[in-house]
Structure 1
Amino acid sequence: MLALISAAARAEEATLPADAPRAEPSVEESTAPEPHPWLALGEVTAINLVVWTYDRTLGQKVWARVSLQTWKDNLRTGFVWDGDGFSTNQFAHPYHGSLYYTAARDNGLSFVSAIPFTLLGSVQWELFAETEPPSINDVINTTMGGVAMGEALYRLSSTVLDTEATGRDRFGRELTAGLISPIRGVNRLLRGDAFRQEPTPSDWRSRALAGWGSVGYLMLGDGKLLAGGKHQFFTQFALRYGDAFRGDIRRPFDAFDAHIQFTTREDSLVSHALLTGLLAAKVLVRTEQDEVRLGLSQQLSYTDTIEYEVGGQSLDVGLLHQHQLSASSKLKTVLSLKGSVLTGISSAHEGREGRNYDYGPGVGVQLRMVYARDAWDVLTLEADMSRVAVLDGAGGSHQVLTGQLQVDVPVRGGVGLGSEVNVFQHHSRFDGFPDVSKDTYELRFFLSVH
């Protein structure tokens, strides 16, 4: 694993782009920008000042009323585990971290070089922007999740930008890119990049970029799906950037997959989110029909349903195999060993902090098989087994088995009809309580647009 990380870092430093990099080699090479670490540090600090000022004044947050005494107390107390809600810790914090990351990335720093600035921004906030003791889980989620989310959003904003465009087209592109990656949008305005006409760097485009969405109905059941399921409507958006199976992987996140799902549930807008970025890859076998790679990936996962919560940050090592069945169809298989740095998972018992979920590292194995026609995933089969050792919470460990079978059939043009079945089996062993087992099933019907 260390060799793969080093290889990714060397490849990245050797070919650092002018902006978000390409997924395939290009004839025209762009010039690497001059890094500005001090400016990046200033922007990271400014982000914290702006957010804190809003929370302290307009937000009227009690925890934002910091003083020299609270700073001393935080430094003396050190890092603890907090009791914030699942969506705050597992989704909001990674997005906040993406702002720090973008501040560094947009000031000429590479993927690897931007990581310390993301960590620094998180530590700054934890020590000096809240009256509550600094949180170790916040630092991990903000840093790791912020790096993954920040790089993905940064690259997506590059695919929108066109520095040769003018008029309404230019305004629309700059606005859209700014909404995708806000710190970059602000920087482009301040530097005058948003108005300057110049050739668009060739590595701002990915040669493999596909997106699709779906809308439908789901029924979620705790052990008795059809007998007493909970009914919701949902919409989901998915994106594939680059080609993890056959594309040229020169830098981290030259290929990544992402999806996010929204439901009609009142207390939580986002129910599912997943971002998996390839950090490095080595080709083991390559023929006309087959290619096998060893890959190192970073993953941010988030699931918050009525029945359970699970999500976190992981580094995965896996074998990626693509078999070309015909000119337009292929079978893609991924077998991964998952190493969770920190996972939050729902628990039947509350820990000291009053959370309804536990925290801990974990390991797991995942198998994913996809039959695809061009960029359309027609049939998807996925199985995952993982174990989480509780570091903070009710104590003990959690074992999780998940399964997914999805069919998305093309009907006409870019429109398809599909169905999906999800199984979530959760077995918990507690130090001071009886074991708890829970099975949850989910059935979906949807209309997809590709």
Structure 2
Amino acid sequence: MLLIATAQINPSVSPDSSKFQPAIQDIIIGERKAIRATSELFITQAIPWSINRFVRKADFAKISFKSLSNNVNPSSWEWDDNSFQTNQFAHPFHGSLYFNAFRSNGYSFWQSAPAAFSGSLFWEIAGETHVPAPNDFINTSLGGISLGEMTHRLANSLIDPSARGFKRTTQEVLGLIINPMNGLNRILNRKWGRVEPFRTRDSSTKLVNAFVDYGGRFFSERSSDFLKRRGNNEFYMRLRLLYGNPDEASVIPFSAFNMSAEVGASDSGYLNTLMVTGYIRRWKMSAKSMGLISMNYDFFKNNAFEYGAQSFRFTVLSDWKQKNPRNKLRTTIGGSVIALAAVPDVYLYYGEGRNYDYGPGIGYHAGTEISFHDVLFLNFQYRGGWFKTLNGNRSNFFLNTVTNEVRYEPRKNLFFTLELGHFSLQGNYADYPDFTRTYPFLRYSTGFRF
């Protein structure tokens, strides 16, 4: 974690970026290598297809001219029945490999984005006999771009080109784990372990701030059970990363982003939360306010509740001047367009375990952050959304999330956190009784800031 927090990058400067963020430029790795990038994209598809075809001997991997001719027909597309984990995490992960096949071979964010779409489309048509699924195409493409750019920047921020020995090897290995395509191309470009002068435009700028906390969490499927302490008590660990500075204007995608990952001892899986907010554009609206447009990936899954989505969000961030400069007040408010969301449906279960509806929606959010003398921090956040089902039971949903957090930092790098909140889901059905459910949760933890 220390490497993540303290590493700098040696960026390539894009033509118009210096007037926005001199310390955080676009990260373009060397010259463009179109043939290698395209080859790597197809290799990332050939490997899983070969395993499915020759090791698992899966029927869906036995592609033919008949399956290809059927899949290229737009009328053949159908929503699939895969599990939540497969559709909302595995597919975006593979999309990030397609994206980074080009991103780590000299292409910019915008130049690499089509690779996620084309890689997803090619797999849907030619990677298996199953008919193409629109949910796979959207999740793999948009989720792949969000996860791809986040891992591209994070992996490169880990590596100090001037480091040597065990420290450098550790950096390279961690970078490879975070972004396999970037690590592969560092090897092919003979940059793995190669010592070079380390230059940045502003070495005093801290590129990544990491917050690691661990403790207990309690959640329930009903408010009444929560008050009676009936629910799930689990250990958890969470990593939160703040990359770049969202307070500075920039047109460089993901030159600032937030990432939160949570793991725990849950029956639903070890990975319970993965959220990425990457800022596409940031600009000054007034002396106290910033306008932010972000691309967002959300994955949330535990024993009580699950939700996944790809969205684009507009936020107005405002800092309000206080009499005491050591006290700070920040507010956020905005809305979002949700390209596709997976929302739990209590009346649906079929196939590999699909128990959620798919549909687009609109979102809205507001929040307040208050700090006193950089010791006591209060954070109140609300997120809501409305979703119209395109595939599943005929329905629409309202989802509301409220989070209240108190954080105490007796020392600069040590903090204690208490967090209380709930998810509220209202389902309105054409063929079944409507329902409203509330999923309260509580977290308490000790953490370190690096």
TM-score, reference length from structure 1 = 0.88
SS in 1 for 2:115: helix
Give CA-to-partner distance per residue, 1:344-378, whole Å, 9 cap, x none: 00012227867210000001210122234799882
Match of 1:207?
Answer: 206
- Aligned pairs for 1:425-440 within 5 A: 425-440=424-439
Q: How many residues align?
A: 430
SS in 2 for 1:157: helix
- Kept in 1, the 8 Å contact 2:17–2:25? The answer is no
1:268 paired with 2:265, answer: no
1:51 paired with 2:42, answer: no
SS in 2 for 1:334: strand
> What is the deviation of 1:186?
0.6
- Kept in 2, the 8 Å contact 1:361–1:389? The answer is yes
Match of 2:215?
Answer: 216
Looking at structure 2, the residues matched to 399 and 101 of structure 1 have their Cα atoms a distance apart, in angstroms, of 33
Alpha-carbon spacing, 1:32–1:229, altered in 2? closer, same or farther (3 Å) = closer
> What is the deviation of 1:328?
5.2
Looking at structure 1, the residues matched to 265 and 126 of structure 2 have their Cα atoms a distance apart, in angstroms, of 37
User: Which range moved further: 432-441 or 265-274?
Assistant: 265-274
Match of 2:339?
Answer: 341
Looking at structure 2, the residues matched to 173 and 55 of structure 1 have their Cα atoms a distance apart, in angstroms, of 33
Alpha-carbon spacing, 1:377–1:271, altered in 2? closer, same or farther (3 Å) = farther
- Kept in 2, the 8 Å contact 1:422–1:442? The answer is yes
Structure 2's unaligned 5+ residue stretches are 1-12
> What is the deviation of 1:203?
7.1
Match of 1:318?
Answer: 315
Alpha-carbon spacing, 1:401–1:207, altered in 2? closer, same or farther (3 Å) = same
> What is the deviation of 1:181?
0.9
Match of 1:198?
Answer: 196
Alpha-carbon spacing, 1:39–1:61, altered in 2? closer, same or farther (3 Å) = same
Looking at structure 2, the residues matched to 366 and 124 of structure 1 have their Cα atoms a distance apart, in angstroms, of 36
- Aligned pairs for 1:172-187 within 5 A: 172-187=170-185
SS in 1 for 2:72: helix
Match of 1:84?
Answer: 82
Structure 1's unaligned 5+ residue stretches are 1-11
Looking at structure 1, the residues matched to 316 and 24 of structure 2 have their Cα atoms a distance apart, in angstroms, of 30
Alpha-carbon spacing, 1:306–1:267, altered in 2? closer, same or farther (3 Å) = closer
- Kept in 1, the 8 Å contact 2:405–2:418? The answer is yes
Looking at structure 2, the residues matched to 135 and 374 of structure 1 have their Cα atoms a distance apart, in angstroms, of 52
1:74 paired with 2:55, answer: no
- Kept in 1, the 8 Å contact 2:117–2:137? The answer is yes
> What is the deviation of 1:383?
0.9
User: Which range moved further: 22-31 or 113-122?
Assistant: 22-31
> What is the deviation of 1:109?
1.2
Looking at structure 2, the residues matched to 121 and 31 of structure 1 have their Cα atoms a distance apart, in angstroms, of 21
> What is the deviation of 1:63?
2.8
Looking at structure 2, the residues matched to 374 and 167 of structure 1 have their Cα atoms a distance apart, in angstroms, of 41
> What is the deviation of 1:52?
1.8
TM-score, reference length from structure 2 = 0.88
SS in 2 for 1:151: helix
Match of 1:448?
Answer: 447
Looking at structure 2, the residues matched to 125 and 390 of structure 1 have their Cα atoms a distance apart, in angstroms, of 25
User: Which range moved further: 324-333 or 98-107?
Assistant: 324-333
User: Which range moved further: 104-113 or 61-70?
Assistant: 61-70
Match of 1:416?
Answer: 415
- Kept in 1, the 8 Å contact 2:76–2:132? The answer is yes
SS in 1 for 2:250: coil
- Kept in 2, the 8 Å contact 1:426–1:437? The answer is yes
Match of 1:237?
Answer: 239
Give CA-to-partner distance per residue, 1:227-265, whole Å, 9 cap, x none: 222222211111000111x22424011111110111211
> What is the deviation of 1:211?
0.5
Looking at structure 2, the residues matched to 352 and 431 of structure 1 have their Cα atoms a distance apart, in angstroms, of 19
Tell me the C-alpha RMSD between the 2 structures: 2.8
Give CA-to-partner distance per residue, 1:9-28, whole Å, 9 cap, x none: xxx964489xxxx9831499
Match of 1:149?
Answer: 147
User: Which range moved further: 189-198 or 355-364?
Assistant: 189-198
Looking at structure 2, the residues matched to 67 and 413 of structure 1 have their Cα atoms a distance apart, in angstroms, of 61
Give CA-to-partner distance per residue, 1:304-340, whole Å, 9 cap, x none: 1222211200001121112354555533322121110
Name the aligned partner's letter for residue 175 of structure 1.
Answer: V
Alpha-carbon spacing, 1:377–1:48, altered in 2? closer, same or farther (3 Å) = farther
Name the aligned partner's letter for residue 42 of structure 2.
Answer: T
- Kept in 2, the 8 Å contact 1:23–1:242? The answer is no
- Kept in 1, the 8 Å contact 2:317–2:332? The answer is yes
- Kept in 2, the 8 Å contact 1:408–1:448? The answer is no
Looking at structure 2, the residues matched to 186 and 372 of structure 1 have their Cα atoms a distance apart, in angstroms, of 43
- Kept in 2, the 8 Å contact 1:351–1:393? The answer is no
Alpha-carbon spacing, 1:32–1:277, altered in 2? closer, same or farther (3 Å) = same
Give CA-to-partner distance per residue, 1:129-166, whole Å, 9 cap, x none: 22221111011011111111111111111111122333
Looking at structure 1, the residues matched to 336 and 263 of structure 2 have their Cα atoms a distance apart, in angstroms, of 26
Give CA-to-partner distance per residue, 1:91-132, whole Å, 9 cap, x none: 111111111111111111111111111111111111112222
Identical residues among aligned pairs (%): 25
Give CA-to-partner distance per residue, 1:259-298, whole Å, 9 cap, x none: 0111211231111221101100220112xxxx31111111
- Aligned pairs for 1:155-170 within 5 A: 155-170=153-168
Looking at structure 1, the residues matched to 374 and 154 of structure 2 have their Cα atoms a distance apart, in angstroms, of 18
User: Which range moved further: 408-417 or 315-324?
Assistant: 408-417
Alpha-carbon spacing, 1:28–1:272, altered in 2? closer, same or farther (3 Å) = closer
Name the aligned partner's letter for residue 264 of structure 2.
Answer: T
Match of 2:34?
Answer: 37
Looking at structure 2, the residues matched to 29 and 101 of structure 1 have their Cα atoms a distance apart, in angstroms, of 16
